[in-house]
Amino acid sequence: MAELLELDAEVLQTCLSELTAWLGELSDPEPARIVDLGSGTGTGTIALARRFGQAGVTAVDISPQMLHRLAKKASTLGLADRVRGVQADLDEGWPALGTSDLVWAAASLHHMADPDRVLAGAFDALRPGGLLAVTEMDFFPRFLPDDTGIGRPGLEARVHATLNPGPAVDWTDHLTRAGFVMEAKRPFAVALTTPLPAATARYAQACLRKLRSHLDEQLPADDLAALDTILDSDSPYSVLRREDLTVRTTRTTWAARRP
């Protein structure tokens, strides 16, 4: 998971940068106290600390390993004095973090057993006028062309249709129920073509491996065999050797304010 998150940060940097710039436009004054919920290895924490150069950012995660990686990264980037990690299980209640100007939750809310309780905690922790940003993937990124040269066309579409049949959650009602006033719901579409970021092939391999780990008998044997070949680093069809990769995904961000 940690490796996947770091590749994700590298490949989708432009999207993240657009997103933090937008939060800057929605914030007046600039946020000084920021909380990143379910920070993982710190993709959002670091991006926010860079965007808001005076802010202190508190990264909250249940995993000490994730927080350890985050602390190392912050230190390497000279941000250790403005970034702190707090290990906490947000399902067990809101940790004592003080008042915040901006709370950020990227790809984390859907992991919580009771997201509404976490949103209520975020509401209480924000100052009046403070902003909450929730970001989630509409769908897992896609990389392959329709015809991969091996097996039947449409392999990646069939993998996604098998594993993600339902629409993504819309957080709007959850946010209003917690007392927030919606500012905006904004999709950020990613459509990267060549020249791709250097880490793209490794990112594609990590994402497809993760999907493969959830697939068992749900796909026909010929599809599974084709996918395994594409995941095999030594195969001529390997995702690591292909010239035909692209990156397609959409992330939606809900920005909501505590009145």
Ligand X SMILES: C[S@@+](CC[C@H](N)C(=O)[O-])C[C@H]1O[C@@H](n2cnc3c(N)ncnc32)[C@H](O)[C@@H]1O
Check residue 250 for interaction with ligand X (CB under 6 A): no
CB of 137 to ligand X, least distance (A): 9
x-marked contacts with ligand X along 83-122 as a string, rule CB under 6 A: ------xxx--------------xxx--xx----------
CB of 10 to ligand X, least distance (A): 11
Choice from 19, 48, 66, 204 touching ligand X (CB under 6 A):
66
CB of 134 to ligand X, least distance (A): 11
| Angle subtended at Cα 10 by Cα 229 and Cα 195, rounded to the nearest 5 degrees | 70
Beta bridge partners of 87: 61
| Residues whose CB is less than 8 angstroms from the CB of residue 233 and which lie 6 or more positions away in sequence, other chains included | 205, 240
Cis before 31 (ω within 30): no
8 Å CB contact between 86 and 42: no
Which residue lies nearer to ligand X by CB, 38 or 151? 38
Q: Can you read off the two tokens belonging to residue 47?
A: 């991006």
Check residue 141 for interaction with ligand X (CB under 6 A): no
Question: Contacts with ligand X: how many residues (CB under 6 A)?
Answer: 18
CB of 232 to ligand X, least distance (A): 26
Check residue 58 for interaction with ligand X (CB under 6 A): no
Q: DSSP letter at 151?
A: S
Which residue lies nearer to ligand X by CB, 112 or 175? 112
Buried b (16+ CB within 10 A) or exposed e, 64-101: eebbebbbebbeeeebeebbbbeebebeeebeebeebb
Q: Which residues bind ligand X (CB under 6 A)?
A: 5, 38-40, 43-44, 61-63, 66, 89-91, 106-108, 111-112
